[in-house]
Structure 1
């Protein structure tokens, strides 16, 4: 399905901002081949509508949250109570209502396996929850971050923390406004922000409201593979639309998220993944409603050295 020129330009703009959320208007206009006034107007329209948020995404290691997992939850009756409980937890970065055997998909972050176990156990003991399938991430091969590894060694002070949290609200905040908000000079705000980006403590990208004017639908993939190999990973990551990919311990060997403009587009991506000779089985589920899809970290916890 082909969208209107307006929609297609929006998607191209969002793709560029996903790569660099602070890209200057003049650079975006040059890559899109349209006047700067058009880019400025489209960007303002997308942000004011809530279709797109441009935010700093701090690496989980900033909070020493090195252990992650994916939960598929089956609920008896209404999902509302379970969803409200999940949204109250700071370590839940994703909550989505999905099609298929399970009803809710969740991503959790924790400091260690014991903390992760306790968080999963609390969910499992809910009266409304009938089943929880847990997949523990081993290697995150593609994520909202530029790389999956821990950031380079870097000790965050109060200024760094304040910058991260301000940019989590508005990733395109001008350095002058950022400096005023944090209480430092503009040159310090610029230097500190660029250092945080260079050392991959954070990156600035987009979060899109699925199915809105960006026409972005998402589907989850659970893969059984004959054996892990760099060639298999490279083949999957080269497929357009693969947003997330991780190796896991649990019911699946790998798990991923793919996006597309329509259900047939999602199906085509799934078929490309299924066609790999190393993929022996695939299970899919469609994300119906992303109730939470955030990478905002709670204020006041970012105090530990990063990468040490």
Structure 2
């Protein structure tokens, strides 16, 4: 039942406990209790990725560390507001981070000036993200019957493009609060930002309808039954990229797909049941897109930060870091 609860919340992250219970066919109190336990144990959570900037910039940054310092370096970087994903990986580098800033100037400052000064860092290689084609997916997909899932309110997850809507500091404060807990009741959000519940509800509806909120449910790999996380770098002809993205996005376990500016032009992350499934996954990719050439793979040895959560060596969330793309670390 836990995975059914997660899948229902993935479908509609802010649906009421009653709506979720009706879909799963259990009482609302049971749904709320099971979700509270999953959160408490660091197995699942809802976060919000604010899409409020007109010129966001992101990059995959590969970091090489002095011998024996990798875990300490990763722990330090995970505290940086720009480092939304921090993975210790195999291959020619030690750490792979997804760095995001409100603008290109902020991203450049981060990778050129601040990252190299972290104690233990020996080399920094950056591949800018050109386009995020796909992000999220359903970690607990298949846990609900299709006819049950469609009963939920239409998901409002936001769109992965720059936004030109007018926003103010209160909009940002709402998004930051939701990044801590995407299911916070409107009453709690109202107290946090000093507005009435009516005003908060109105702002949330406006931000959601204009695609300025990206609500994401995260489920730890072990809880999802997909303990092997792999970053794949590939080359694909520009004319074949759109079709390749659509086909890869439909494959089970794919979590994100981005076009990048580097030796390869496509990067995607996949969560597999076990590492031995990687061969079958790559075979399937080559079958559905013969023009795509896989150039590199990085196995995630340990996730250190996953969006708004710090992750322990067992893969569970142990701390909350709000997502504020405007922030710049020291």
With the shorter chain as reference, the TM-score category is: 0.7 to 0.9
Q: Counterpart in 2 of 1:194? A: 205
* Displacement of 1:115: 4.2
For 2:239 and 2:62, the matched residues in 1 are separated by 23
* Displacement of 1:39: 2.1
The answer as to whether partners of 2:159 and 2:214 remain within 8 angstroms in 1 is no
The answer as to whether partners of 1:226 and 1:280 remain within 8 angstroms in 2 is no
Q: Counterpart in 2 of 1:27? A: 19
Q: Counterpart in 2 of 1:90? A: 81
Q: Does 1:219 align with 2:225?
A: no
Query: What is the CA deviation profile of residues 99-141 of structure 1, one whole-angstrom value per residue up to 9, with x for unaligned ones?
Result: 2332111111235545434422343466733443322111110
For 2:27 and 2:109, the matched residues in 1 are separated by 53
For 2:130 and 2:30, the matched residues in 1 are separated by 43
The answer as to whether partners of 1:65 and 1:110 remain within 8 angstroms in 2 is no
For 1:130 and 1:163, the matched residues in 2 are separated by 38
For 2:161 and 2:324, the matched residues in 1 are separated by 21
Query: What is the CA deviation profile of residues 148-195 of structure 1, one whole-angstrom value per residue up to 9, with x for unaligned ones?
Result: 2113x3222343233222222221111223223322222222111121
Segments of 5+ residues of structure 2 without an aligned counterpart are: 137-156, 309-321
Segments of 5+ residues of structure 1 without an aligned counterpart are: 1-8, 303-308
Q: Counterpart in 2 of 1:182? A: 193
The answer as to whether partners of 2:101 and 2:325 remain within 8 angstroms in 1 is no
Q: Structure 1 runs of 4+ off > 4 angstroms? A: 111-115, 124-127, 299-302
Q: What's the secondary structure of 1:171's corresponding residue? A: coil
For 1:124 and 1:157, the matched residues in 2 are separated by 33
Q: How does 1:45-194 map to 2 (within 5 A)?
A: 45-59=37-51, 62-63=52-53, 66-78=56-68, 79-122=70-113, 123-124=115-116, 128-144=120-136, 146-151=158-163, 153-194=164-205
Q: Counterpart in 1 of 2:316? A: none
Farther off after superposition, 200-209 or 290-299: 290-299
For 2:325 and 2:132, the matched residues in 1 are separated by 25
Distance 1:125 1:161, change over 3 A: closer
TM-score (norm 2): 0.77
The answer as to whether partners of 1:258 and 1:266 remain within 8 angstroms in 2 is no
